[in-house]
Amino acid sequence: MAERLNEIKERVALGVRILAHQGVFPLALGHVSERVPGEDLICILSGEVHDVGGTLDKVGPAEIVAIDLDGELVEGKMEPPGERFIHTEVYRSRPEIRAVIHAHPPIAVALSAAGQEILPITARSALFAPRVTIFPYHGQVDNPSVAAKVAAALGKARALVLRGHGSVTAGESIEEACVHTLTLEETARQQWIAAAFGTPRPLTSDSVSEGGRSPWHSPGFYRAAWSYYCAQLPK
């Protein structure tokens, strides 16, 4: 078990560093988690990391802790984040999900503040069809009751935006969840640009259906994208 936990902690820490480098963890705030296969355990970035300031570019397995589905610390020397319940409630409702991320992508958050839902306007963003739901709550999701409502609003989708606050993304691997977070922000940026030229139009239902089977959403694409983002990290 210890060896398996350490492998997962290494992946979670790498996911944190990637997302921090890509600019979706402003003020070093946000968290990545991965479910331990076959166990009611989650490896997640410690909340104490946020309290000391600085950056997340050197986060390692020592800053990752294990909690149960009630949010209680099971393993590690640091406290879990206050918003851990976002993760626990999504995992409760989505047994197929392996990784969850709560980030603060600035353009996606800005669109939500304007009441603009992120739309599947590109081939890569077809996975968000028919749109990314905006959850009308901007406060800290630091209790199971509110977190359960967030998980219900996410449903079977891959992404949700908390109005004026941040994003919640899920995936069947940590690679998927990270790529979904970055694709969400990229789509928000493209939608913002498109709005300067006219009204952004979502892909048709036929296009979205076909896009869901495209190489953009295959395991091979997620592996390649993960490698690309890893290569951009400072040496």
Q: Using CA atoms, how far apart are residues 4 and 138, in angstroms rounded to an integer?
A: 36
Binning pLDDT at 50, 70 and 90, where does residue 134 land? very high
pLDDT at 34 over 80: yes
Q: Using CA atoms, how far apart are residues 144 and 40, in angstroms rounded to an integer?
A: 16
Binning pLDDT at 50, 70 and 90, where does residue 211 land? very low
Contact assessment for residue 84 and residue 160, using Cβ atoms and an 8 Å cutoff: no
What is the dotted CATH code of the domain comprising 2-231? 3.40.225.10
Mean of pLDDT values over 108-127: 95
CA distances from 117 to 96, 154, 197 (A): 26, 14, 18
User: Which residue ranges make up each domain of the chain?
Assistant: 2-231
pLDDT of 4: 86
pLDDT at 210 over 60: no
For 143, the token pair is 């209790």
What confidence tens digit (pLDDT) does each residue in 148-198 have? 999 999 999 999 999 999 999 999 999 999 999 999 999 999 999 999 999
* % of the chain at pLDDT higher than 90: 83
The answer, yes or no, to whether the previous bond of 130 is cis (omega within 30 of 0) is: yes
* Residue 95 Cα to chain centre, angstroms: 16
Angle at 159 between CA 155 and CA 163, to 5 degrees: 100
Q: Residue 39 — left, alpha, or beta (φ > 0 → left; ψ -120 to 50 → alpha)?
A: beta
Residue 43 — φ and ψ, nearest 5°?
Answer: -95, 130
Q: How many helices (H) and strands (E) does the chain have?
A: 8, 8
Q: Using CA atoms, how far apart are residues 43 and 12, in angstroms rounded to an integer?
A: 7
- CA 144, 147, 152, 155 torsion: positive or negative? negative
The order of strands in the sheet holding 64-68 is: 73-75, 64-68, 41-45, 31-35, 99-103, 166-171, 159-162, 133-135
Q: Judging by beta carbons within 10 Å of its beta carbon (0-12, 13-18, 19+), is residue 93 exposed, middle or buried?
A: middle
DSSP E strands, 10-165:
31-35, 41-45, 64-68, 73-75, 99-103, 133-135, 159-162
- Of 212 and 181, more confident: 181
pLDDT of 207: 65
